[in-house]
Structures are given as C-alpha cells and as structure tokens.
Amino acid sequence: MTADSPARRPADPAVRDLFEEMRRWPIFDPHSHIDPRRPAARNLDEVLGYHYYTELAHSSGMPAEAVAPELAPRARSENLARHLAAIDNTVQHSWLIEIARTFHAFPHDRIGPETVGGLYDAALRDGEAAGAAWDEQVWERSNLEAVFLTNEFDDPLEGWDVDRYVPCLRTDDLVLKLHEPRTVERLKAATGVDVGDGAGLREAVVKLFERFVARGARACAISLPPDFEPRRATPRRAVTPVRRAIRGLDLRPDEHAEIRATVFWMLAECCAEFRLPFDLMIGPIRNVYPAGVAGGRDLFDRRVSLYGYRELFNHFAGVTFPVSTLSPDAGAELVAYSWIFPNVLPMGHWWYSNVPAFIAADLAARLQAVPKVKLLGYYSDAYKLEFILPKFDMYRRILAETLAEQGIVGQRWSPDRALEVAKLILVDNPRRVFPHRAR
C-alpha cells in the first residue's frame, strides 16, 4: 500500500500513469543514514532537525543557537518553524509538507508558528511501543522493501532485522583518520587485533569485512574529498608512515597521502575478495563553514575529475563501483565513465546534486547514454524513515516526466516499455547489484 498524496500527482496524464504505476512498486533504498533501532521519528524535532532545514533556515538568517542540542525538542521545532517561510520555495520544504500531510494529516501547505504546535502534537510518539508501532506504520505506508544503513566499522550490527535494514560498511574514518588515536583504538576494540603495523591493519580490516558480510552487509562505502586520487598501493613505501600513524606520531603531508592511498587500496582489495560493491561518494570537503549548524558545514570544490580514478577502475575490474558525485556539474563526466567502464555505475543524485533541475539533466543523459542495466536510480540519504517516501516520489515524478518525454513521445515507446526501464532503475538493478552474500 502506498501513501495518498493527491496534491502532487503530475498534471500530464501520460506522466501521471507512469508515476502511479511506479508508486505501486516497493522502494529499494541503497543508501541512508537511518538508525535501525529508531528508524522513524519520535517527534517533529527529529524531522525538522534534518540538516536541510536547519542549514537552510540558518542560511536565511536563523542563528545556529536557535536549534542548539540543549534546547527542548518542542522549543527547537518552534524556533525553526518561525523561519520556514523563508525557505518555502525549496524542494526540501516540499518534502516536509508531504511528510506532514501524508503521515500526520496536516491540512495546510505551509508550516508556521501558528500551526507548528498542532503538528508537533500529531507527530509525537511517546514510549517504546508507540515508537515501534510507528516505525511499522511508516514502513508499510511507504511500501519499503530494503533500506541500507551507514554503519561505522565498529558498529556491533546487532538488534535489528538486517533484511529490512541492510548493513553497509562506511570506511571514511579508516582512510581519512587513521592517524587519529581514537580510530586505531576503535579498530582494536572492534576486531581484537593488536594493530601495530600494516600487516596488523590488514588483518583487522579483513576481520571487519568478515563480520559485516556475516551480518548481511551488502556494500562498502566511502566519501572522498575532491583532491583524492586513488593509486595502487606501494606497501613497502607505506610501511613507515602506516606504523607512525598507528602510533599517533606526527606525519608529513606526503605520509598522510601514502596512508590514505594504502588503506583505500586495501579496502578495494577486500571488496574484491568479499564480492561487495564499493560505493564511491566523490567530492565533499568537510567543515568549509565551521560556524554552520550540525550537518550543514560541508561543501566542495567543483574542480574534480573521475580521471583520477582510472587506475582503481582498471585494476579492480571485478569490483562494482556505484559512483555518486557531489558537484552538480560533474554529472556529465560520470555518464561517460559509466558508459565505458563496465564496473562504474552511476548511483542516485547526491546531496547538492539532489535538486530536481540537476536530477532531470543528469537523468536524461544517463537514460540516453548508459546501458539501462547499469542505472541505479535513487537513494534517500535519509536520517528518518519518513523522508524516504517524499524523496523517492520526487525522483519518480522526474523519472516519469523524462520517460514520457524522451521515451514515449521522443522514441515512440509504449508505456510498458517505459515502465520496463523504470522498473530496472528503481528496483531490479539495485536488487541485483547489491545482492545478499551472507547466510
């Protein structure tokens, strides 16, 4: 069963038919930040606390303190609601309204100081039983099939149904923060390996993969800054830097680079060995705006190219690399690399590129130039379950429009042929590319 949101059905009948059919399919969401122990929001603050709202409100004038963690949830929601009018043109705001209307019977099309109280009450789920029931209701109403998580390498991976909430090994810390003492400590604790040098590091990383795969992990993932260029590791050269990093000693910039390259390559080798797809999320630079709200401080440098990844793609021909690029203008290059490299797959529309104008441009080109069996349509990147439906609906609307215009009108495809492509992109390809490995 899918949600009913009559206000946002596409106006064009051909588009609407495609959209309605797509909404009957289950949602397979190959990347999110959902907490599987508390997947749906317990109150409105957990919805409004999504960094899109706090950062856009802050960008339009709200002080960061208005949503400080020490405030009561209701106060934070009220503070934020006073600034929602300033951002009610954005697509992010439209997700919010769809959540309010779909899940909480909110009757208005904007949320303001005078309506936030009622909505807060309607969205409140107090106590564990009410929370669990709500998780189930949102899951059903959104027609979810699988939601991938973002698990730190030392996540115990216990306490939830891994067929619904699929583990995914996130490896940023290992590659980018090995020199921080906390990382090595966590690694030792998680694996029981007394990591002291490169060999110990490898042993520990293999243990991580074993544990994740045994617990049903179906992908490894990492986000990488725009100046990172993977290169074949030269273990001998890395011996000393890796040992120094593990011991928390000071490192020169070239040693940092050597460590990153070495650990990253090691991860790729494990992906090959354990037959896990390796999601590459290319582009972010962390903390570009340090005074921003939590989650709203990262940006990018648009001067980035997949050319820097050629050695990786060539060397690991057996590893599937679902690739997301952050800078919207980098999307066209990803089309070309996905068209040539069998193991490069364009995946979703990420963060600053997750805007209808950019999605539409990227999607049109992917549909025209990348084999349909390689297209991984969309992922929610959501922190709370409620966001999956409106985000996927946004994508499904654009997909319906694109297929109607390009396929049905442009190429004289039948609606069934258009839906065949849509089904691959939304459901069949993700299922095939991220298969069950364990058990």
Residues 261-320 that bind a copy of itself (CB under 8 A): 285, 288-292, 296-297, 299-303, 305-307, 310, 313-314, 317
Q: Which is nearer to a copy of itself, 209 or 337 (CB)?
A: 337
Q: Which is nearer to a copy of itself, 129 or 340 (CB)?
A: 340
| Binding-site member from 206, 257, 272, 336 for a copy of itself (CB under 8 A) | 336
Assigned token pair, 320: 């599937």
Cα–Cα distance list, 359 to 66, 225, 263, 331, 363 (Å):
32, 22, 33, 9, 6
Task: Select the span of 33-41, 122-130, 174-182, 339-347 touching a copy of itself (CB under 8 A).
Answer: 339-347
Task: Select the span of 160-168, 216-224, 235-243, 334-342 touching a copy of itself (CB under 8 A).
Answer: 334-342
Q: Residue 209 and residue 217: Cα distance in Å, rounded? A: 9
* Window 18-57: residues binding a copy of itself (CB under 8 A): 55-57
* Window 62-121: residues binding a copy of itself (CB under 8 A): 86-92, 94
Judged by DSSP in three states, 179 sits in coil
User: Should residue 257 be labelled a site residue for a copy of itself when binding is judged by CB under 8 A?
Assistant: no
| Binding-site member from 189, 232, 249, 368 for a copy of itself (CB under 8 A) | 368
Name the minimum Å distance from CB 35 to a copy of itself: 25
* Window 139-178: residues binding a copy of itself (CB under 8 A): none
User: Should residue 372 be labelled a site residue for a copy of itself when binding is judged by CB under 8 A?
Assistant: yes
| Binding-site member from 112, 318, 371, 435 for a copy of itself (CB under 8 A) | 371
Judged by DSSP in three states, 220 sits in strand
Cα–Cα distance list, 91 to 54, 96, 161, 163, 242 (Å):
14, 9, 32, 31, 44
Residue 66: name the closest of 251, 293, 393, 258 by CA. Answer: 293
User: Should residue 234 be labelled a site residue for a copy of itself when binding is judged by CB under 8 A?
Assistant: no
* Window 418-437: residues binding a copy of itself (CB under 8 A): 421
User: Should residue 200 be labelled a site residue for a copy of itself when binding is judged by CB under 8 A?
Assistant: no
Place of tokens 């289950």: 26
Q: Residue 140 and residue 120: Cα distance in Å, rounded? A: 22
User: Should residue 391 be labelled a site residue for a copy of itself when binding is judged by CB under 8 A?
Assistant: no
| Binding-site member from 14, 71, 257, 361 for a copy of itself (CB under 8 A) | 361
- DSSP letters along 346-403, please? EB---GGG-SHHHHHHHHHHHHHHS-GGG-B------SSGGGHHHHHHHHHHHHHHHI
Name the minimum Å distance from CB 146 to a copy of itself: 23
Contact between residue 378 and residue 349 where contact means Cβ atoms under 8 Å apart: yes
Q: How many helices (H) and strands (E) does the chain have?
A: 18, 10
Q: Which is nearer to a copy of itself, 117 or 308 (CB)?
A: 308
Q: Which is nearer to a copy of itself, 115 or 305 (CB)?
A: 305
User: Should residue 4 be labelled a site residue for a copy of itself when binding is judged by CB under 8 A?
Assistant: no
Q: Residue 258 and residue 266: Cα distance in Å, rounded? A: 12
Q: Residue 285 and residue 191: Cα distance in Å, rounded? A: 29
Q: Residue 60 and residue 31: Cα distance in Å, rounded? A: 29
**End-to-end C-alpha distance for the chain, whole angstroms:** 30
Residue 227: name the closest of 144, 160, 167, 283 by CA. Answer: 283
Q: Which is nearer to a copy of itself, 160 or 352 (CB)?
A: 352
Q: Which is nearer to a copy of itself, 36 or 407 (CB)?
A: 407
Q: Which is nearer to a copy of itself, 57 or 111 (CB)?
A: 57
Name the minimum Å distance from CB 358 to a copy of itself: 6
| Binding-site member from 186, 352, 415, 437 for a copy of itself (CB under 8 A) | 352
| Helical H segments across 220-372, by residue range | 235-246, 253-274, 310-315, 331-340, 356-369
Task: Select the span of 148-156, 175-183, 191-199, 401-409 touching a copy of itself (CB under 8 A).
Answer: 401-409
